Structure 1
Amino acid sequence: MACAGGLRLTRTSFVHEKSISWFPGHMMAGLREMRDQMRTVDLVVETRDARIPLSSINRQFEQIVGRKRRVVVYNKADLAPVAIQDAVRREMAMRDQQVLFTDTSINRSVKKILGVASEIALSDPVKYPQLVVMVVGMPNVGKSSLINALRRTGINRGKAASTGAKPGVTRALSSRIRVLDTPPVYLVDTPGVMIPHIPDPVAAIKVALTGGIKDNIADEAVLADYLLFRLNRLDGVDYCSVLGIDAPTDDIGELLQKLGRKIGALRRGGELDLDKATQHFLRAFRTGRFGRLCLDDLDPQSVAAHFQRSAEDLPLSRSQQAKARRAAHRQRAMDRARSRNQD
């Protein structure tokens, strides 16, 4: 932590017991469609967020993909430290997962995926007259941006998939999208699918902080508090200079007060708009203003603990699925009511 001045209080842990759940109905439908179409797929590209290499793993894809050939793509690599890549490759190799890191603005990193697809197609042209690749991942890991980059790099064509900063832009499986002529390679885009239940509440915060869960569902104040905790624990991160504040703090209220005054976030009557300050703080992280950051701990003990928690998180029962659908229905009704009130 490189901010000038000393901390009055240093937190060594972040405790949060309430997990965030977001599993709307279109995700359940998307999982069923993925499962139904998997027999027509030759390669699965599972996209994850390089800033949360463990927390962006969705174990539901393990069940759907089965023995199908898969390559794991850690997207948004430009926002994560280069130093984590060897550790992540090593951990995933232990789980028989081939890993690539991509930045969709750099053609050579995207071409690696096309290279994997081409190698499979050319290995048996009779078996693969055209190679079909399904792209899966959690919301907002950059699947659609990756597809557009593959199309741009492979056949020099424009956008074929809708993109957006908010999660949930793609809500259904797409038709096949051509990304390579020789050999012929086609992609299928899929909706981002969240884990119905994230067993670790802090992991859920990380997913929300990187944009995988809508901000109106997550508690932005908790996200901001965790982000501050994390920045204070990372060496070499000068968030004070980035935000234009005088000294570091472990108190999120104090930081938001300072930040609100700095950016002129005021309501009528001169009252500080702390919501606007919170959003400014979160946006600074999401756009990479604090530099390359990884929110997951990758030491052996933390990695082992993560996979242990994941192993204990069993697939949803029928009653849990019904509960998830009801929760999604309630959330949609709340969103509609909130929208009417804003109008």
Structure 2
Amino acid sequence: MNKFIPRYEFPNYNIPKTDFKGHQLKALKKYNSLRPQLNLILELRDIRAPLSTRNVLIDQLIDPRIHRRLVIYTKKDLVQHNDDYLERLTRWHQEIDEDFILINGKQRQTVKNVLKCIKWYKKQLESRNNGLPLPTGYKVLVTGMPNVGKSTLINSLKASRKKVARTGAEAGITRSTSECIRITDEDNIYLIDTPGIGLPGRLHGATHRMLTLSLCGCVKSNLIDPVIQADYLLYLMNLQEGRFYPGAPTNDIYKLLNRIRISPTDKETSTAVKWLAQQRSGLIYDPEMLLDNTTFSLRNYLDKQRDLLGDFQPATSPSSPYAKMLQNVNQLFPKPNNS
């Protein structure tokens, strides 16, 4: 019997390269106006796709002299038993000196850990200010790709039971930047909820970025043909250990859809939609995360992302005092001195 060989490349289908909308551009401009007031940036990403749900535009808007950033990976429960994966993720963040934590938004204790981190950053700032309190409070911006759990986190952090931010399963529920939301009575900490920010098409590069975002729910589900999404999911499953679907392994999505359809009259599209909607644990959506550290460098990847970004600066005009600061992204990730 021949050994099954998975595909190591995915076809370059003609699909949309972006879901970047007008309200997201408006949010970027709002970010820029808020920058002087902000103390901490909470950037949420999906733990299953740490590269695809990372937004280089947010890098551009952070000034490390006045802002701290904490990356929060959501959906911890879906990968928490994959120790090798989590160790690789830790090494990546150490490579660029970036703080991160993992949470499961449905578990109160992990949300409490986020609040502890916020208070710790606030205490560090007050210590640098010789213990003087912040006159307008400690301002925390919650940002990230669409539908990664920003509003859910804010509702969980809110001290009262009242729901303060809209949530939903589809991308794009929050469409405007909210006012400050006070989350504690004693610490004077305020959160600012924001709409999810996607990427312009040229920053996505390879087709698989949009497919990954679709699997994560970060773009509208009807943007890409469900059969193509299902084919990409099958491609990822075959690259990873374990069986995520019934029957013998296959690279043919049509064979699999025929195998798993409930009724003989079910169409391929409807079968693909139902299969995509199933909850799965342990599956990684970024293929780069399956490579070892000698094959893939996070720093090199980010350098390429910034090269693709070029002079994309919708959040500020050339006359703005922050324009030069926004161009200087290398202050965040300085290149190693090879001399």
Note closer, same or farther for the CA distance 1:316–1:225 as it changes in structure 2 (3 Å cut): farther
Q: Which of 5, 8, 26 is 1:12 aligned to?
A: 8
Larger CA deviation: 110-119 vs 137-146: 110-119
Aligned residue number for residue 142 of structure 1: 149
Confirm or deny: 8 A CA contact 1:46 1:135 kept in the other structure. yes
In 1, distance between residues paired with 2:9 and 2:251? 12
Amino acid at match of 2:179: S
Residue 313 and residue 177 in structure 1: after superposition, are their counterparts in 2 closer, same or farther (change >3 A)? same
Deviation at 1:213, TM superposition (A): 1.1
| 2:227–2:268 CA contact under 8 A, matched in 1 | no
Q: 1:293, CA displacement in angstroms?
A: 1.6
Distance in 1, Cα, partners of 2:236 & 2:215: 11
Listed one character per residue, the Cα deviations across residues 153-190 of structure 1 (whole Å, up to 9, x for unaligned) are xx242321111111000000011112222212111000
- The TM-score normalised by the length of structure 2 is 0.80
Name the CA shift for 1:212/1:90 in 2 (closer, same or farther; >3 Å).
same
Q: Helix, strand or coil: the match of 1:128? A: coil
Partner amino acid, structure 2, of 1:126: L
Q: Which amino acid aligns with 2:171?
A: P
Q: Is the 8 A contact 1:117 1:131 kept in 2?
A: no
Give the match for residue 74 of structure 2. Answer: 75
Q: Note the alpha carbon deviations across 1:135-158, whole angstroms, 9 max, x for none.
A: 00001111111111212xxx2423
Secondary structure at the aligned position of 1:48 is classed as strand
- Alignment match of 1:221 (pick from 224, 227, 232): 227
Is 1:66 matched up with 2:63?
A: yes
Distance 1:209 1:70, change over 3 A: same
Shift of 1:9: 5.9
1:159 pairs with 2:163: yes
User: Does the aligned pair in 2 maintain the 1:75–1:142 contact within 8 Å?
Assistant: yes
Match for residue 328 of structure 1? Answer: none
Q: Within 5 Å, give how 1:126-137 maps onto structure 2.
A: 126-129=132-135, 130-137=137-144
Tell me, yes or no, if the aligned pair for 1:47 and 1:73 is still in contact at 8 Å.
yes
Q: Secondary structure of the equivalent of 1:313?
A: helix
1:16 Cα shift? 1.8
**Match of residue 336 from structure 1:** none
Query: What one-letter code is carried by the residue in structure 1 that aligns with 2:23?
Result: H
SS of residue matched to 1:180: coil
Query: TM-score, with normalisation over the residues of structure 1?
Result: 0.80
Contact 1:7 1:248 in 2 (8 A): no
User: 1:118-143 CA distances to partner (integer Å, 9 max, x unpaired)?
Assistant: 12333425342521110000011111
Cα offset, 1:48, TM superposition: 0.6
In structure 2, what is the equivalent of residue 312 of structure 1?
Answer: 307
Q: 226, 231, 240: which one pairs with 1:234?
A: 240
Structure 1: give runs of 5+ residues left out of the alignment. 241-245, 267-271, 320-343
Q: Partner amino acid for 1:205?
A: L
Q: CA deviation at 1:66?
A: 2.1
Q: Distance in 2 between the 1:114 and 1:306 partners?
A: 31
User: Would the aligned equivalents of 2:236 and 2:284 in 1 still touch at CA under 8 Å?
Assistant: no
Distance, in Å, in 2 between the alignment partners of 1:317 and 1:178 is 33
Report the Cα offset of residue 265 of structure 1. Answer: 7.1
In structure 1, C-alpha distance between the alignment counterparts of 2:311 and 2:79, rounded to whole Å: 32
SS in 2 for 1:89: helix
Per-residue deviation, 1:111:
1.7
- Unpaired runs of at least 5, structure 2: 315-339
Q: Residue by residue, what CA displacement relative to the aligned partner does 1:197-252 show, whole Å, maximum 9, x if unpaired?
A: 21122122111111111122223222110100111121123421xxxxx4332110
Determine the C-alpha separation between the residues in 1 that align with 2:108 and 2:221: 31
Matched AA of 1:128: L
CA contact (8 A) 1:135 1:187 kept: yes
Q: CA RMSD in A?
A: 2.4
- State whether structure 2 residue 284 is matched by structure 1 residue 294: yes
Post-superposition CA distance 1:29-81 (Å, at most 9, x none): 01110111121111110111100011111000011122211111111111224
1:267-295, Cα deviation, whole Å (9 max, x unpaired): xxxxx3221101111111xx22xx22222
Residue 202 of structure 1 aligns to which amino acid in structure 2? H
Q: 3-state DSSP class of the match of 1:37?
A: helix
Q: Output the CA distance in 1 between the equivalents of 2:121 and 2:134.
A: 8
